[in-house]
Amino acid sequence: MGTLSLSDFEAVKIPVPWGHISGRWYGNRNERPILAIHGWLDNLGTFDRLIPLLPDYLGVLCIDLPGHGRSSHLPPGMYYSVYEYVFTIPLVMKEYGWSKVSLIGHSLGGVLSFIYASLAPHTVDMIVSLDILLPLRNDIDYMDLSIEKQLVNVERQKLGNYIEPPSYTHNQLGKVLAAGSFNSVSPELAKHLLHRQLAKSKLYPERFYFTRDIRVKYYHYIDIDDSLGAEMARRIIKKPYLIIKGSLSPYLSVRNNEAISILAKDNPHFEFYEVENGTHHLHLHAAEECAGYIVPFIQHHRPPAMTSWTVAGKEDRSRKPKRFFTWTNKKRSKL
């Protein structure tokens, strides 16, 4: 069995009321694909290193969330929030006539997958969550700053007072993106996130600026406390759920333990792995190790069609993989 090719894709534009959602459909276009959703301020390029490691019988539809990558920005006067982003999932499903969806999400994309699965569990058949489950708690200072920035943007739109964003040379771009990710993405890997969000400066011909909607930076995210997270997890019972954590990342803190314990309880389809020295963007810098966990999980829960399935092609899932954890009594123990 081969793997997907990063050059074998169909560029798609999914119509939505405010414009379109851009995407790339890799691999098999004859069956329902896995829907892959990137993180905040990123775009579908975040999956560039993972896609070529996935089995070639699959289809994978990677999308740019609204305001990101090459997807349309929301109309003037509107602001971005988790609610609009969650709504993206059923919009894509409706466009293609899917009654079920399989999800891979990183960061914000993983949060959206968790929220959507809790709202419509009967429509979700599999989730892969990369370094996230519950979002970080709302910070009152961020909320205050977010409202202030949104008001500034509304006023600028009203006056037509938009100027070109800051621009950078090619050599600077990777460093700027790396710094913005708190060095979760190295300057060398930044190219995977840059190619869908740059435009040539009209003021400085040798420079480029970021084209994502400036309002995305101060989007409104949902505050899920521990008890709400636990209740949401109870609605996603016994679903195939794979979580991969970066050991250096703060995004799967102890406050996630109760929700993870609920997802794992009496669920043979739940898996959790930790990537040693993994940052928040572990699927970029440790793509091979992540694929080592993701591929057998997908092959088990989204196997090839019977026409191409053979006993010899089945993955041996009896082995205990490196750094697999089981969850009991809200504590994580290494097997």
129 domain-assigned: yes
Residue 161, domain member (yes or no): no
Please state, for a pLDDT cut of 90, what percent of the chain lies above it: 74
- Reported as a pLDDT band with limits 50, 70 and 90, residue 104 is very high
| Residue 289 within a domain | yes
CATH number at residue 80: 3.40.50.1820
Q: Do the domain assignments include residue 123?
A: yes
Spot the catalytic one: 72, 107, 146, 249: 107
Whether 272 contacts 327, CB under 8 Å: yes
For residue 213, being part of any structural domain is answered with no
Give the range of the structural domain holding residue 270, as residue numbers without chain letter.
9-135+224-301
pLDDT at 142: 63
Looking at the structure of the chain, the number of domains it has is 1
What is the tens place of the pLDDT at every residue in 182-200?
Answer: 999 999 999 999 999 999 9
Tens digit of each residue's pLDDT (9 = 90 or more) over 17-67: 999 999 999 999 999 999 999 999 999 999 999 999 999 999 999 999 999
The Cα–Cα gap between 148 and 142 comes to 10
Q: Is residue 82 part of a domain?
A: yes
Q: Give the angle subtended at the CA of 84 by the CAs of 78 and 89, to the nearest 5°.
A: 150
Say whether pLDDT at 115 is over 80.
Answer: yes
Domain assignment present for 323: no
Residue 321 forms part of a structural domain: no
Among this protein's residues, is 308 annotated catalytic?
Answer: no
Per-residue confidence (pLDDT) for residue 77, from 0 to 100: 78
Neighbour count for residue 206 (Cβ, 10 Å): 10
Nearest to 52 by CA among 22, 32, 28, 26: 26
